[in-house]
Amino acid sequence: MGARERVIDCEELTRSFPSGVALDRLTLDVDRGEVLALLGPNGAGKTTTMRLLNGVLVPDSGRATVLGLDPWTDGDDLRSRTGVLTENAGLDERFTALENLEFVGRLRGMSGDEARRRGGELLERFGMSHRADVKVQGFSTGQRKRVALARALLHDPELLFLDEPTSGLDPAATRDVVDLIGSLASDHGRTVVLCTHFLGEAGKLASRMAVLFQGVLHAFGTPDALAAELWTAFEVQLDLGGEAPREVLAAVSALDAVQQAVPTTRGALVRTTGRDDVPAVVAACVGAGASVYGVAPRDPNLEDLYFAIEAKVGAQAAVGTGAEVTP
């Protein structure tokens, strides 16, 4: 297995605005071919991070290299190798989809023919070739996102910054855009930084995640590593042939080791302190008159981890100890 190639390496990045500190001593790294999900609520510092790493903002302090370049002294060179999708698509409504791409291509030094060819290929890839010659004024939010994503890829960038790519989309359009991003991430080592507060899309795409709250990095790593660090509970799906009756849930919940028991369409989801507690859970179900047809462990998903981190941050704030970054 070859050595990993570092694409982003930043240390102690800090940026303030008149309203306060937007990013406080951020340290992280991203390797080629990774999808890094920057997670956190609105105002957490995700967009500030992206703009700093692309050389659009200058930090108050700290250092970074992106694609081997200093974002603030080599910004033009860097941005010739990166693509950006902002939350607002920012298309010129006077132009057609293809004209928008041709215009940006010319700004990037392409000939008109090259920009039209490349733009046409991308619109076809993103299912928009039938709208290539239609003015974007009447496009839906999902169609605008597709054109904007094509624009970000026009010059075949090595690194993509995607800021809230599914914001404002309906579920069908969200699924389509997530699928498109997934295909882009698998393209010849392309690296993606995905800024989002939607956990579903991040869970499907991210190889690592960084969780920000109020400008501070509270967790950084692979989902598996963070699960091992943060998720101390053990959950099982119980198949009871139907939704668990109230008396069964009461019997299970009465066990000291059970933290939570909730009904599901096929039985119950039970959270315990560990795997060794499962036999007692099954016995409690049987004792309450239920038949247990199956027991399956449930691994924590990204939503579980995010809320575990959020709870940890809240607990730290409550006792005034400050926040520590999870390695």
Using CA atoms, how far apart are residues 68 and 219, in angstroms rounded to an integer? 25
Domain at 6-81+157-228, CATH class: alpha beta
Domain ranges, ordered by start, for the chain: 6-81+157-228, 232-298
Distance CA 133, CA 322 (A): 55
Q: Residue 263: CA atoms inside 13 Å, Cβ hemisphere, count?
A: 12
> Model-level pTM?
0.78
Question: 232-298: what CATH class?
Answer: alpha beta
Q: What is the pLDDT of residue 76?
A: 93
pLDDT value for 267:
95
Counting beta carbons within 10 angstroms of the beta carbon of residue 221, is it exposed (0 to 12), middle (13 to 18) or buried (19 or more)? buried
pLDDT at residue number 1: 46
DSSP characters over 64-119:
EEETTB-TTTSHHHHHTSEEEE-SS----TTSBHHHHHHHHHHHTT--HHHHHHHH
Q: What is residue 17's predicted lDDT score, i.e. its pLDDT?
A: 94
Strand, coil or helix: 46: helix
pLDDT tens, residue by residue, 61-71: 999 999 999 99
The reported pLDDT for the residue numbered 147 is 92
What's the pLDDT score for residue 169?
Answer: 75
Give pLDDT < 70 ranges for the chain.
1-3, 187-188, 317-327
Any residues with CB less than 8 A from the CB of 46 and at least 6 apart, and which? 38, 39, 40, 163, 195, 196, 197, 212
